[in-house]
Structure 1
Amino acid sequence: MCYGHISGKSKPSSEDDEEWYSIDARIKSWFYSTCDPGLLQIISSDDCTSKDLWDKLEEFFRNNKMSKMLQLQDQFCNTKKGANSITEFCHTLKNLADHLKDVDSQINEIELVMQILRQLPMPTAFQQ
């Protein structure tokens, strides 16, 4: 029932289709209660339907995907261990790898391990 509202397959039969508008209002209410208020200001308007909200939300994230991916890749490559514990450092890199996966930029396990190893101090026996 709700899918039709978001996909656009369900349309009101008339301007007085109370059932359709009631369902659409509940779906929009879900958007309003779960989305960040700043994001809602960008994607919503007074006369939008749940389909409009969905389309604008999708467009917003698609348009930002590439810039977000580049930012996350830069963070992943440039994150230093610094004063963090090894556990904190590993969690930070793992979280960045997970966020990269969300924007379709997969970091495989070998790349993750290699990035961790690059930041560990070299034992004195191996230093020249």
Structure 2
Amino acid sequence: MCYGHISGKSKPSSEDDEEWYSIDVRIKSWFYNTCDSGLLQIISRDNCTSKDLWDKLEEFFRNNKMSRMLQDQFRNTKKGENSITEFCHTLKNLADDLKDVDSQITEIDLVM
């Protein structure tokens, strides 16, 4: 039932199709509760459906935007007021996130 909302095969029978909209809201709620808030700002828009969210999410990852964004964030992270431990944890988390999107940081980048 939910797959049809994501694939676009399921459409509301009318503008008053409460059951379809109820399911769509639950799927969108799942997106909102599981996606990073920064990512949601990029992929969501007013009056979007769960299919719209899915399509934008797919486009985002297929275009490697996440990888580029994380690489920029990794390279621009400064120690600032953080302890060296907090700074290293931040870099480690970013490196792990990059690995998750098939864009690993080299040992040289980690050392630099």
Deviation of the 1:5 alpha carbon: 0.8
> Structure 2 regions of 5+ residues with no counterpart?
none
Q: Distance in 1 between matches of 2:38 and 2:93?
A: 24
- Counterpart position of 1:56: 56
TM-score computed with the length of structure 1 as normaliser: 0.55
Cα distance change of structure 1 residues 67 and 84 upon mapping to structure 2, 3 Å threshold? same
Equivalent AA in structure 2 for residue 30 of structure 1: W
List structure 1 runs of 4+ shifted beyond 6 angstroms: none
Equivalent AA in structure 2 for residue 101 of structure 1: K
> Structure 1 regions of 5+ residues with no counterpart?
119-128
Cα distance change of structure 1 residues 115 and 3 upon mapping to structure 2, 3 Å threshold? same
Deviation of the 1:66 alpha carbon: 4.6
Deviations 1:72-108 (A, max 9, x none): 45358xx77xx945x5554344223202213321246
Q: Does the CA contact (< 8 Å) of 1:43 and 1:53 recur in 2? A: yes
Q: Distance in 1 between matches of 2:83 and 2:29?
A: 42
Over alpha carbons, which structure has the higher Rg?
1
Q: Distance in 2 between matches of 1:69 and 1:30?
A: 23
The yes-or-no answer on 1:28 pairing with 2:28 is: yes
Deviations 1:33-85 (A, max 9, x none): 55528834862222x22101221233345552353144145358xx77xx945
TM-score computed with the length of structure 2 as normaliser: 0.60
Q: Distance in 2 between matches of 1:57 and 1:8?
A: 15
Equivalent AA in structure 2 for residue 29 of structure 1: S
Q: Does the CA contact (< 8 Å) of 2:28 and 2:49 recur in 1? A: yes
- Counterpart position of 1:124: none
- Counterpart position of 1:106: 104
Equivalent pairs, count: 107
Q: Does the CA contact (< 8 Å) of 2:44 and 2:53 recur in 1? A: yes
Deviation of the 1:115 alpha carbon: 4.2
Q: Distance in 2 between matches of 1:37 and 1:73?
A: 16
- Counterpart position of 2:95: 97
